[in-house]
Structure 1
């Protein structure tokens, strides 16, 4: 049982049942509930916002929609590295919809409301069906083909946005702002490109209107939010009982654990008004790009390095990895020697201080952030987390040795999935990746792996020293994973 002095309660202070939905969010996962919804909760508690959020799932997890509709609120347990915990009631999600399996009409109707000023997204990189390296919508994807053929019954987030914007275009109404909160470089620009390209399949004049009229601010979001587990749900409910929390009796079915740290940097280009999230800690800026790159390369890049090396070394969580001094030293070297030098930050940002803060956050054992979870969707994450920075280093004549180790670890992780005690690789390109990885034990095999479409743009195969390093590290990883931490 935790010391009661380390527990703090924060209950909803407003009439949640009376809130209109001024924000519609697509992608009701753990992150939005522990991040965006918490900023909105704080703003509502301070009397500085007049509307709540309607949140929808469009592909899976109808169960959470049912549970949130029953409960009306949920708990976010914010764990600080010092052991203290804030138990926060969140009621800012005032409406919940399930729009999958042909049930999209209720969401489309909600998006027609003149009260909606912002439509936000957390659908993960693969949910955009967008090839960032080519800046092209994946028109051959089955789901996108469906949305082109059936524009009024879309299945994808991009299709839903296009169908909704068509309503505003046809009636000469001011459209909502579209706010991507996913971990992609230039996420606003990428979302705009995807939406405009799909709109062009409907009507070229309509697509020009979207490009000229709709605002797509870029954002940088940061909070470590592990996937909920049965154990974490039980633990949070035990804390609620201990703290005598006055909400969600007798049991919270959908609580979320996260770290206490939270950051949100937002490009201040909104077309239909916005809440002032700066009152509760967000930063509105003219250019998000430096912040995006800092987070993607230093935090997310380190997370992926920890995930693949940690999985191979038998570590289940990020905090477990941080008990290995050699691995911690390697991660710090990656941040300061390969990631930080590629960044161009404002003068008041100290990247050494940022790196130290990340190591403290990664060491938070309360979170139980699974390495296997972070290892998911490598093909969608690694280009912006590792490869963009690697290209900067190579252009400067710097050999990205630790990035090469990371790529080797990813390859061995894919190879090991076929072992007798293997696992399923959760990646949309798994059917392509795994066979290529199996052959990647030689220069030729690694070159073929690096020339797959998801990675080819970065042309790492043209650098023999990079290829040699990857082959070298693959050999070492098969022999003794931990020996690579000091190389």
Structure 2
């Protein structure tokens, strides 16, 4: 049987495999990560390891914390925290490429369901200076813009923190990532430990301020005013923007990695070559030298965030809705449709770019071409149906901001209106049960009801106030464009 990847066996990896540039045995923990999924392993952990190597530091090893299950802990512990990143791209001639590196930045893995006390102790450790998070939008347990204090997990953490404030440390399992973080900050405040920076890496607008607000709300619910005062002075919550496409790892990927390395890797992740990390330069204490590993440190993340949401995410959704209706199974197939690709280029050039302030050092036209080139990578495997899901949640942040800004500038948003119409046609045809189209959306029932009834599809869907604010839905210029485009697409 093939040997499994570990500190003992990694020295026997095939010569073409990149090994950790920093000796994992010499690395100490200085960073806690909440939510160790594939994205963190392919993104922040890689940047952190490269930063340690570039700055010749060994104090930024990662104590990773799983979220909903012990699966990743069970994958990585027998491997001494090591795992591979299989980077799959295309060469200059369009031929598939695959490169494998072993990452050793993760030095410990905990499952909160069994080891909450261990994680809380690490969060209070004065040698830990940074906490990062990738817990997905659902993990923040929000109701609108506020913490959902009725969420059972949040209630568990409020009760546990209130108990600690009465003098006894409570190691009961954490109910939520926000609760875990707040309880860790409480222990840190009690011990008057060093300042700490909390870096959320989930794709949420103004994510740093959002997370700081949720933590304050949980502390207030537990009556932890002294902890909140300590955090206001000693904790920082910088905003970030992250980007790397990390598809699900398949058995075929694991087999390819084994062929390349000669070792079996249960923790393998797959990624595209591109990676980007933009971080607000607002830290409470020491941090890894991430800028030496390709990250951008800036005083304002917003221009980068807006460019990604409107160009990358907006184009992704456009390709998904239009591509699915045209019969394209994957996003790569959709980009390969010359006419559709040109539609998306026109959408970006004519409506999106005029609404953006270019981030420092970024040419938005080059960024557009880079995005479309990334989407053409067949190794990423994103299906149009997959990307089309949750459209009612994605439309407001990916497309409607562009609509609003074009209207405010006195322009008629023909191209972004066509993108909105593409979503409407996708909803209508999937609601009708067209083969291959699936409507997977939190508002599926409302959408199906609004889509039924023949003529007037645009007006019925524009009437959904959960998606379209009144100032857009009632703007006759926008309504006329959407009606026209729906008619053209049907």
Q: 1:419 aligns with which of 413, 426, 433?
A: 433
Q: 1:197 aligns with which of 198, 212, 217?
A: 217
Equivalence for 2:251: 230
Equivalence for 1:73: 82
Q: Distance in 2 between matches of 1:359 and 1:402?
A: 17
Residue 485 of structure 2 is aligned to residue 464 of structure 1 = no
Shift of 1:459: 3.9
Retained in 2: the 8 A contact 1:58–1:98? yes
Residues 1:142 and 1:404: Cα distance change in structure 2 (over 3 Å): farther
Residue 57 of structure 2 is aligned to residue 48 of structure 1 = yes
Shift of 1:170: 2.9
Shift of 1:372: 3.1
Residues 1:417 and 1:351: Cα distance change in structure 2 (over 3 Å): same
Residues 1:353 and 1:112: Cα distance change in structure 2 (over 3 Å): same
Render the CA deviation track for 1:415-434: whole Å, top value 9, x for unaligned: 51672757765555556555
SS in 2 for 1:335: helix
Retained in 2: the 8 A contact 1:12–1:45? no
Shift of 1:262: 1.4
Equivalence for 1:283: 296
Equivalence for 2:461: 446
- TM-score scaled by length of structure 1: 0.84
Q: Distance in 1 between matches of 2:175 and 2:453?
A: 36
Structure 2 runs not aligned, ≥5 long:
1-14, 162-169
Shift of 1:202: 1.8
Worse-matched range after superposition: 90-99 or 464-473:
464-473
Residue 128 of structure 2 is aligned to residue 116 of structure 1 = yes
Worse-matched range after superposition: 358-367 or 150-159:
150-159
Retained in 2: the 8 A contact 1:197–1:207? no
Retained in 2: the 8 A contact 1:39–1:280? yes
Residues 1:237 and 1:164: Cα distance change in structure 2 (over 3 Å): same
Residues 1:422 and 1:144: Cα distance change in structure 2 (over 3 Å): farther
Equivalence for 1:64: 72
SS in 2 for 1:10: coil
Which has the larger Rg? 2
Equivalence for 1:161: 181
Retained in 2: the 8 A contact 1:74–1:89? yes
Retained in 2: the 8 A contact 1:217–1:270? yes
Retained in 1: the 8 A contact 2:22–2:58? no
Shift of 1:97: 1.9
Q: Distance in 2 between matches of 1:301 and 1:400?
A: 14
Retained in 2: the 8 A contact 1:58–1:155? no
Render the CA deviation track for 1:182-235: whole Å, top value 9, x for unaligned: 112221111112222222212345334434432011112121222223333333
SS in 2 for 1:266: strand
Shift of 1:323: 1.0
Q: Distance in 1 between matches of 2:232 and 2:38?
A: 31
Residue 207 of structure 2 is aligned to residue 207 of structure 1 = no
Residues 1:270 and 1:147: Cα distance change in structure 2 (over 3 Å): same
Q: Distance in 2 between matches of 1:301 and 1:162?
A: 34
Retained in 2: the 8 A contact 1:49–1:275? no
SS in 2 for 1:159: helix
SS in 2 for 1:303: helix
Retained in 1: the 8 A contact 2:27–2:58? no
Residues 1:388 and 1:311: Cα distance change in structure 2 (over 3 Å): same
Q: Distance in 1 between matches of 2:301 and 2:36?
A: 24
Q: Distance in 2 between matches of 1:109 and 1:267?
A: 27
- TM-score scaled by length of structure 2: 0.84
Residues 1:21 and 1:376: Cα distance change in structure 2 (over 3 Å): farther
Shift of 1:349: 2.6
Equivalence for 1:216: 237
Q: 1:360 aligns with which of 373, 386, 393?
A: 373
Q: How does 1:29-428 map to 2 (within 5 A)?
A: 29-46=37-54, 47-60=56-69, 62-71=70-79, 72-82=81-91, 83-100=96-113, 104-130=116-142, 135-151=145-161, 153-203=173-223, 204-238=225-259, 240=260, 245=261, 249=263, 251-346=264-359, 348-415=361-428, 416=430, 419=433, 426-428=440-442
Q: Distance in 2 between matches of 1:438 and 1:208?
A: 54
Residues 1:372 and 1:122: Cα distance change in structure 2 (over 3 Å): farther
SS in 1 for 2:210: helix
Residues 1:234 and 1:460: Cα distance change in structure 2 (over 3 Å): farther
Equivalence for 1:3: none
Equivalence for 1:483: none
Structure 1 runs not aligned, ≥5 long:
1-6, 480-487
Q: Distance in 1 between matches of 2:242 and 2:279?
A: 9
